[in-house]
Amino acid sequence: MSTEFTLVAIALLAMLTLTAMIISRLRGLYGAAMVAALFSLLTASLFVLMDAVDVAFTEAAVGVGVSTVLVLTVLALTHSREAVTPRNRRLPAVAVVVAAGGALVYASQDLPAFGSADSPIQTHPITDVYLVESQEDIGIPNVVTEVLASYRGLDTLGELIVVFTAGLTVLSLLGTLAPPEDCKPPGRFHLTDYRVIRIVSGLLMPFILLFALYVLFHGDYGPGGGFQAGVIFASGFVLYGLVFGLDRAQQVVPPRVLWLLVSLGPLVYAGVGVTTMLLGGTFLDYDMLNQGHPESGQHLGILVVETAIGLTVAAVMMTIFFGFASRGVTRK
């Protein structure tokens, strides 16, 4: 490892540990949520340092954007101050943590050195398949997109169904969304009264959505793809809902449309799989989509599948946000 790398890694890891400790000490949960956003940003930086640009993208959009907003919304619905942790609960926790941590450190002696090029994961034949053969089979520069959508397409379909199920679960826990006319922001306090917030978020909105589309369709050539695009798209709407009120956000995307989109993604994804089977291939074998040119069949399949992922992820994130936000309205 070069010295610069080591220095940056140590600095980031130190800050990461520090923020994690601060989060565990803070009893004001609003503060903890904000430090958790900082924690996510540091994590994203570490992902970039470790060459995982796609992952960093996702972590930045999810950790700093969506999950912070979710935690803050829930804090507004519940208590934001934590009770003091009783002393008798700390000791067992410390014992478990020391035992588990000790076991991990002991086991880590068998791990290959950090960054070594001859570790089992790097010398496994699959590495060559992904990094070299993929360029002939599929021909898309971003290997992460290839593995995600093509080589491990079935796995990703499973993940998408988990996201879909989580969206349904949140809906069934929180009940159906409040009708738009009930969602008018109550009383004296309007974020839209602040001219800077109103104009800046209004101006940013089209760019955020456009950027999400760029991330979706450029995912073949650079960092990006359906998951990232979906989260970025949703965070644009979350910003809109926060500033202009839930009623106007629901006018833009009515709940019925949202639910259609939530289920459309897995349907399209699995539909591609069934189509390739009908064309004589195996499930999700995109080669079949264009018989003469398996490469362009792969491109088409990956594009459709990534779009399906983006649709469902965006719709599920928006459903979750609307669900929590309108819970506060219906309860009042």
Partner 1 sequence: MIATHYVYWVLFAIMMIGLYVVISHGNLLKKLIGLSIFQVGVFLFYISLGKVRGGSAPIISPTVQTYSHPLPQVLILTAIVVGVATLAVGLGLAVRIFETYGTVEEDEVITRSATDPADGVPEDSLNGGGGDAAQGDEA
Could you tell me which residues come within 8 angstroms of residue 20 by beta carbon, excluding any fewer than 6 positions away? 39
CA distance 143 to 221: 9
> Does residue number 277 form part of the binding site for partner 1 (CB under 8 A)?
no
CB of 147 to partner 1, least distance (A): 5
SS3 225: coil
Residue (of 127, 160, 176, 183) closest to 332 by Cα position? 183
Nearest to partner 1 of 130, 211 (CB atom): 130
| Tokens matching residue 10 | 């140590």
Cα radius of gyration rounded to whole Å, the chain: 23
Among 31, 180, 185, 222, binds partner 1 (CB under 8 A): 222
Nearest to partner 1 of 230, 281 (CB atom): 230
> Does residue number 252 form part of the binding site for partner 1 (CB under 8 A)?
no
CB of 174 to partner 1, least distance (A): 6
Nearest to partner 1 of 112, 206 (CB atom): 112
Residue (of 240, 266, 268, 267) closest to 253 by Cα position? 240
Residue (of 112, 133, 135, 78) closest to 327 by Cα position? 78
Among 7, 11, 77, 191, binds partner 1 (CB under 8 A): 77
> Does residue number 233 form part of the binding site for partner 1 (CB under 8 A)?
no
> Do residues 65 and 235 touch, judged by C-beta distance below 8 A?
yes
Could you tell me which residues come within 8 angstroms of residue 142 by beta carbon, excluding any fewer than 6 positions away? 54, 219, 220, 221, 222, 223, 224, 225
Footprint of partner 1 on 189-218 (CB under 8 A)? none
CB of 10 to partner 1, least distance (A): 8
Footprint of partner 1 on 282-311 (CB under 8 A)? none
CB of 317 to partner 1, least distance (A): 8
> Does residue number 24 form part of the binding site for partner 1 (CB under 8 A)?
yes
> Does residue number 53 form part of the binding site for partner 1 (CB under 8 A)?
yes
- The distance of Cα 107 from the centroid of its chain, to the nearest Å, equals 30
Among 3, 109, 125, 332, binds partner 1 (CB under 8 A): 109
> Do residues 228 and 274 touch, judged by C-beta distance below 8 A?
no
CA distance 225 to 304: 11
Among 38, 74, 268, 300, binds partner 1 (CB under 8 A): 74
Judging by beta carbons within 10 Å of its beta carbon (0-12, 13-18, 19+), is residue 222 exposed, middle or buried? middle
Nearest to partner 1 of 142, 201 (CB atom): 142
Nearest to partner 1 of 75, 277 (CB atom): 75
Among 177, 212, 216, 231, binds partner 1 (CB under 8 A): 231
The amino acid occupying position 183 is C
CB of 209 to partner 1, least distance (A): 19
Footprint of partner 1 on 121-140 (CB under 8 A)? 121-122, 126-127, 130-131, 135
CA distance 119 to 100: 25
Q: Which alpha helices (DSSP H) does 50-116 contain, by range?
A: 53-59, 67-77, 87-108
CB of 216 to partner 1, least distance (A): 14
